Structure 1
Amino acid sequence: MNAFPQKPSDSDREFLQAELTRLVGQGRLDLDKYQEILDIVWSTDDNADLMRIRAQFLGDPRGNIPAPQPPAAPPLPPAQPPTQPPAAQFHTGTPGIPMGGHLPQPYNSTPQDVPEQSTMGSIKKTGEWLVPAYSSYKLNGADLHLDLRKATAAAPVVTINVTMNMSSMVLIVPPGVHVDVQMASKNWSDFKVENTAPLPGAPRVILNGVSRASTLKVFSKSPNEPYGFWGQIFGA
């Protein structure tokens, strides 16, 4: 008799996705392979498939199968050069990678392990702040506003995992920083994503997690371009 349920729950899928996302943020899992695995995680109806993925990439949680050696960190995807050369705003040889042209900040590369949570409230981060290689948020009837235009990325690829229920999220990045939205949309959620072509050396943002009856807006605006109250309300 099989002691495990045959069909994985959404929480099983979300938990495994979060663990795989950590591997991407640590440079231990290729982005193309990551996307291929996520397709299986969210399409399979057999819990055994999730167990095999966990055993192969994370090690058997019961300790029977050792975790594989991590692969080399993948190179950033090639990008088309812009019509005008970028203003040397992405300096990859210094600690911390500037998002929008300001000086890099010293940083601790330790990922944010404990998710920030808000119920019927708001979380707002703007100005010069450090974006960890991996961070997570849990929202219930709350608002999340992340402005990365003057922020510093702690890694070439930063992953933001968001679980939101009847909530809203606004993510603003400078031109040239590409946002890869891999978040699952459920229960009439609404996504609006505005992206620009990635610039060489620019950080890349992976946004994943799950949205239930919530809204997501991703905008690309220059660091000096205002984004005030009405922009937050109407997405202007």
Structure 2
Amino acid sequence: MTDDAPELRASDADRERVAEVLRDALAEGRLDMEEFEERLDATYKARTYGELAPITRDLPVGAVAVPKVDMVKKAELSDGSWAGRIVGGEGSSTWGVAVMSGFQRKGRWTAPKRFTGVAFMGGGEIDLREANFADREIVINCIAIMGGVEVIVPPGVEVVVRGVGIMGGFDEREESVPGDPGAPRVIVTGLAVWGGVEVRRKPTRAQRQALREERRRERLERREQRRELRASVRDEQHEAHREMLEDHRDMWRHAHDPHRKRARARDDD
């Protein structure tokens, strides 16, 4: 990794590339388990390229290139904090319509101040987990007629549901969950007739990756503990076997001691 712009924010992809280098180093025996865990923890805590640089400096293929400042998009510089995801502007999409079909808004996009989704005998998905926000408060207006709209929000976002259901309904389970400081507020409103609008809270891709990494770390720890236990049992078995051999040697020496043989012979005479 170069030091041209160490203060630049590192992305989730940068951290994952460093984590992959560490996994390879662990598999090749360049790092022991304790070093791997320490460096992996530092990787996921790193916010800038300057903090990532020392982690793989002594490992092969450990460079993570720092992009040129004039080519870095604002979304790529975001460290995942809410301040970095409230970008202003008009939004990259303001409506979606599904008539006996479906529509999706997901991935890296900018949710506008007001988005309208219409599903007539069809379905729509509005996924905000990887999205940026045009404002700190956005409104998602859903019209579901004999169809459904699913709104997916990341953890930490405050959700307010104000929709009206006629022989249909709006899911309000996520409404009572408090938001993180500085997180955007998502207001879900509209009308559901013989249909439904569902609000679901799901982890982001980075959070899922961190959870998988944590589970992998736990599996490695359990595997190491089992290996140590087996080694301890083998050591105990070896020690018991060694003591048994020593006992047999002592018995043989005692039985074949020439002084004891001569003494027994005199006693017999």
Task: Please report the TM-score for the alignment, with normalisation by the length of structure 1.
Answer: 0.48
Larger radius of gyration: 2
Higher strand share: 1
Greater RCO, CA 8 A, separation 6+: 1
Higher helix share: 2
Task: Please report the TM-score for the alignment, with normalisation by the length of structure 2.
Answer: 0.43
